[in-house]
Amino acid sequence: MNYAGVVWGFIKGNSIEKVHMQFCKRMLGVKANTQNDFIYGELGRVNNQTQRFYIMIKYWTKLLRTNNNKFNKKIYLTLLNDSVIYPNKLSWGLLLRDLLCSIGFHEEWLFQDVVNDKIFLIMLDNV
């Protein structure tokens, strides 16, 4: 359901979420009006948008370590440069910056560095 979520992950995907929740409720055999948070808790899951946010941030940490000659890194650096030049123009880079800042990782964005990817992702799981 989150295939290529790195690219389209900031879209809410309400239709996908609705179908997923209907499936989960049928699988558990509960009423359709059962609160969604209970379903996620019972199954030990989070909603799909949260999963996509995690996928995007994980990809971002990989991008930081990628060689500058790689195509995806060049595009990322262009987005990063555009976010400085055009701060009001909506882009994947600005949305990622806002996401990281909203969950307490503003310094990581400013320095464009994560000291230890594994520890960073564990910290991200706890947010």
Q: Tens digit of pLDDT for each residue in 30-82?
A: 999 999 999 999 999 988 999 999 999 999 999 999 999 999 999 999 999 99
Distance in Å from the first CA to the final CA of the chain = 23
**Residue 23: exposure state from Cβ atoms within 10 A (0-12, 13-18, ≥19):** exposed
104: region left, alpha or beta (phi > 0 left; psi from -120 to 50 alpha) = left
- Per DSSP, 115 falls in state S
Mean pLDDT in residue range 17-36: 95
Q: Which two tokens stand for residue 106?
A: 């503003």
How many CA within 13 A on the CB side of residue 108?
24
d(CA 7, CA 1): 13
pTM of the shown model: 0.86
Would the pLDDT of 18 be above 90? yes
Q: Which two tokens stand for residue 21?
A: 């929740």
